[in-house]
């Protein structure tokens, strides 16, 4: 079933929307949850919650890319769960490493203004990433959006783990100075 039909089912409050989402994107969402939490039960919980959140969001939201919309919800739910269970220190999945690497990038103020500043940061990060060669951009996203392990990324790009670590390290440093030059506290 194509995405617009699935979104149409949500819009019509037809519960088949959930079964179809699960059939088409269940594996995708579960993999994201596993990358972050590395726990099968928790991953299933997060994916189930993803359908509930989606059911409550559409309408009024109309996602442009349903897959990423669902993936983002799973990513956030998994992260919240890991955080709630205070697993960050214990390092479930790749999350604690990913978070430590992110210490090198971006800082940010409160309220609507803070959210706007956040969005400006996102836009700058987006512009920065678009300036990178495609493979570098994909490595960054696989690591920091999908929380994929270094070894998995290395296998994907047929490179050593060390070289992926070095590349990611360089991207983070470049991004840090890119944001600093644009007035963001880093």
Partner 1 sequence: MKKEKRFEILGKMDDKSVNNAYELKKANRPAVMRWVAAAACLVVLAGAALGISSIFKKNNADVSDETLGFKTFLAVYPGRTEDEMREGSFLDGKGDPKWAAGYQKRAAKSKPLQKELETYYSRIMEKLIISEEENTVCSPINTYIAFSMLAEITDGNTRKQILDVLNARDIESLRENVSLLWKSNYADTESIKCLLADSLWLRDNLSFNEDTLKTLSEKYYASSFIGKTGSKEMDEALRKWIDDNTGGLLKEYTKDIATDPDTVVELVSTIYLKALWTDMFFSRNTKEETFHGSHGDTTVPMMHKSEMMGVYRSENFTSVGVPLWNSGAMHFLLPDEGVDVNSLVTDLEIFKALNYEDGDEKWSNPMVNLSVPKFKVSHKSDMYLTMKELGMTDLFNKDVSDFTPLTTDTDGINVIKADHAAMIEIDENGVTGAAYTDIAAADGGIFPEEQIDLVFDRPFMFIVTGIDGSVLFTGIVRNID
Report if residue 164 touches partner 1, rule: CB under 8 A: no
Write the DSSP symbol of residue 65: S
Please identify, using beta-carbon distances, which residue of 27 and 170 lies nearer to partner 1: 27
Nearest distance from C-beta of residue 120 to partner 1, angstroms: 8
Question: What is the smallest separation between the CB atom of 45 and partner 1, expressed in angstroms?
Answer: 10
Under rule CB under 8 A, residue 173 binds partner 1: no
Q: Please give the span between the terminal C-alpha atoms of the chain, in angstroms, as a whole number.
A: 44
CA dist., res. 43 & res. 50, Å (int) = 10
Residue 24 sits at the vertex; the CA angle it makes with 97 and 3, to the nearest 5 degrees, is: 105
Residues 134-153 that bind partner 1 (CB under 8 A): 134, 137-138, 141-142, 144-146, 148-149, 151-152
Q: Does 35 bind partner 1 (CB under 8 A)?
A: yes
Alpha helix ranges (H) inside the chain: 3-11, 16-37, 40-57, 66-84, 95-102, 111-131, 134-144, 150-157, 161-181
**Which of 1, 16, 53, 165 touches partner 1 by CB under 8 A?**
53
Q: How many CB atoms lie within 10 A of CB 47?
A: 26
Apex CA 98: angle with CA 47 and CA 180, to 5°?
Answer: 120
Considering CB under 8 A, how many residues would be counted as binding partner 1?
Answer: 92
52 lines the binding site for partner 1 (CB under 8 A) = yes
Interface with partner 1 includes 11 (CB under 8 A)? Answer: yes
166 scored as a contact of partner 1 (CB under 8 A): no
The answer to the question of residue 64 lying near partner 1 (CB under 8 A) is yes
- 1 near partner 1, rule: CB under 8 A: no
Tell me the closest approach of the beta carbon of residue 133 to partner 1, in angstroms. Answer: 13
Nearest alpha-carbon partner for 91 in 35, 170, 52, 53: 35
The site map against partner 1 for 76-105 (x = CB under 8 A) is xx-xx--x----x------x--xxx-xx-x
């Amino acid at each position: 079933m194509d995405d617009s039909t699935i979104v149409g089912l949500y819009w019509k409050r037809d519960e088949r929307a959930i079964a179809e989402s699960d059939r088409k994107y269940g594996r995708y969402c579960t993999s994201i949850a596993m990358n972050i939490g590395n726990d099968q039960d928790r991953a299933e919980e997060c994916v189930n919650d993803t359908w509930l959140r989606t059911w409550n969001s559409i309408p009024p939201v109309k996602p442009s890319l349903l897959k990423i919309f669902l993936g983002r919800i799973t990513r956030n739910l998994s992260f919240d769960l890991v955080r709630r269970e205070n697993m960050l220190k214990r390092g479930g999945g790749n999350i604690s490493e990913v978070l430590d690497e992110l210490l090198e990038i971006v800082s940010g103020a409160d309220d609507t203004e803070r959210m706007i500043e956040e969005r400006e940061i996102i836009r700058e990060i987006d512009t920065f990433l678009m300036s990178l060669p495609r493979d570098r951009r994909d490595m960054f996203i696989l690591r920091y959006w999908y929380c994929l392990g270094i070894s998995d990324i290395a296998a994907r790009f047929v490179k050593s783990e060390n070289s992926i670590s070095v590349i990611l390290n360089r991207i983070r440093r470049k991004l840090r100075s890119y944001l600093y030059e644009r007035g963001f506290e880093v």
